[in-house]
Amino acid sequence: MRFHERTHGVYFDDLDAFGILHNARYLLLFEHAIGSFWRHMGWGGPLDFNDNPDQYHLVRSNHIEYLRPVKGTGEVRVRVWVDKLGTTSLTFGLRVMPLDEDVDHARGQRVIVRVDPSTQRPAPWTESFRELLVPYRKDLEGGGG
């Protein structure tokens, strides 16, 4: 199973009063990593729901486990893969790690749902989208993030 990984800076204004990465910033790291994943998959330009209906999706949930604090400023890696692809939903797996070792500062998931732009109801992912994600799907290969 493949994954996508991006390095992110941690700046002074990302820290809480204890000098560690504020818990709310992890969602922003997840958002940036998933955005980078979409660009890597070829979704870097303007959104066009007529040409690519899979781009119209909404976040259903986020889940984060904070395992080891990120202390001070510096950089972290955020890894993203597809945990599961359902009929209308997609679950991303995410890890926040230091640059120099594969240990988790945090692990998380984000669930998105493909939505029909006109009805605002869940809609199935297209076959071309499903094929595009095959290398990144943990649920197909039993791999780990």
pLDDT in tens, 9-42: 999 999 999 999 999 999 999 999 999 999 999 9
DSSP 107: E
Predicted pLDDT of residue 38? 96
Rounded Cα–Cα distance for residues 30 and 95 (Å) = 9
Cα distances (Å, whole numbers) of residue 14 to 2, 43, 70, 126? 29, 28, 10, 38
Q: What percent of the chain has pLDDT over 70?
A: 97
Boundaries of every domain in the chain: 4-43+51-141
Hey, what amino acid is at 83? Answer: D
Phi, psi of 143 (to 5 degrees): -75, 180
Q: Full-prediction pTM beyond 0.85?
A: yes
- The predicted-structure confidence for 92-105, as pLDDT tens digits, reads as follows 999 999 999 999 99
The yes-or-no verdict on residue 141 having pLDDT over 90 is: no
34/40 Cα distance (integer angstroms): 10
- Report, as an integer, the average pLDDT of 112-124: 97
Name the CATH topology of 4-43+51-141.
Answer: Thiol Ester Dehydrase; Chain A (3.10.129)
Which amino acid makes up residue 93? G
